[in-house]
Amino acid sequence: MQATELAINSYYTLIAATIVLLFGKFLVQKIKFLQDFNIPEPVAGGLVAAVLITVLHSFTGFSLKFEKPLQDAFMLIFFSSIGFRAGFFRLKAGGLPLVIFTAVVSAFIFVQNVVGVGLAKVLDIHPAIGLITGSITLTGGHGTAGAWGPTLEKEFGIGGATGLGIAAATFGLVFGGLIGGPVARRLINKQGRAKVSNNGDQADNYQSDDAFESHGKTRLITADSAVETLALFAACLAFAEFIKAYQLDEQYFYKLPKFVLCLFAGVVLRNVLTLVFKRDMFDRAVDVFGNASLSLFLAIALLDLKLWQLTGMAGSVTVILAVQTVVMILYATFVTYVLMGRDYDAAVLSAGHCGFGLGATPTAVANMQSITQSFGPSHKAFLIVPMVGAFFVDIINALILSGFVEFLKK
Segment 118-163, tens digit of pLDDT: 999 998 888 989 999 999 889 887 767 766 777 787 788 877 677 6
Span of 24-38, 112-126, 327-341 with lowest mean pLDDT = 24-38
pLDDT tens per residue, range 9-30: 999 999 999 999 999 999 988 9
Is 362 a domain residue? yes
- Mean pLDDT for 251-279 is 80
Residue 311 — pLDDT band, cuts 50, 70, 90?
A: low
pLDDT at 185: 92
Greater confidence (250 vs 304) lies with 304
**To the nearest whole percent, how much of the chain has pLDDT over 90?**
30
Is 203 a domain residue? yes
CA atoms within 13 A on the CB side of 366: 33
C-alpha span between 394 and 326 (Å, rounded): 23
Highest mean pLDDT, choosing among 200-204, 222-226, 314-318: 222-226
Is 37 a domain residue? no
pLDDT at 262: 87
Q: Are the beta carbons of 137 and 168 closer than 8 angstroms? A: yes
Instruction: Label the pairing between strands 4-7 and 62-65.
Output: parallel
pLDDT at 244: 83
- Residue 40's nearest CA partner among 406, 312, 363 is 363
Is 48 a domain residue? no
C-alpha span between 75 and 233 (Å, rounded): 12
Is 94 a domain residue? yes
Is 401 a domain residue? yes
State residue 278 phi and psi, 5-degree precision: 55, 40
Is 38 a domain residue? no
What is the rounded average pLDDT for all residues in the chain? 83
* Length, in residues, of the chain: 410
Span of 111-125, 307-321, 339-353 with lowest mean pLDDT = 307-321
pLDDT at 93: 66
Number of domains in the chain: 1
Q: Are the beta carbons of 355 and 371 closer than 8 angstroms? A: no
Query: At how many degrees (to 10) do helices 41-60 and 161-191 cross?
Result: 140
Provide the 10 A C-beta neighbour count for residue 309: 16
Is 192 a domain residue? yes
Sign of torsion, CA 140 142 147 151?
positive
Highest mean pLDDT, choosing among 53-57, 65-69, 172-176, 235-239: 235-239
- Residue 108's nearest CA partner among 318, 397, 404 is 397
Provide the 10 A C-beta neighbour count for residue 275: 12
- Mean pLDDT for 337-346 is 94
- Residue 233's nearest CA partner among 78, 14, 61, 384 is 78
Highest mean pLDDT, choosing among 71-80, 122-131, 234-243, 326-335: 326-335
Residue 201 — pLDDT band, cuts 50, 70, 90?
A: very low
- Mean pLDDT for 361-370 is 87
DSSP summary character for residue 272? I
pLDDT at 216: 58
What's the whole-model pTM score?
A: 0.72
- Mean pLDDT for 277-295 is 85
Residue 348 — pLDDT band, cuts 50, 70, 90?
A: very high
pLDDT tens per residue, range 38-60: 677 888 898 899 889 989 888 88
Residue 196 has pLDDT above 60, yes or no: yes
C-alpha span between 260 and 383 (Å, rounded): 16
Span of 16-20, 77-81, 147-151, 177-181 with lowest mean pLDDT = 147-151
Residue range of the domain that includes 89: 68-409
Separation in Å, CA 135 to CA 17, 154, 172, 311 = 29, 19, 10, 21
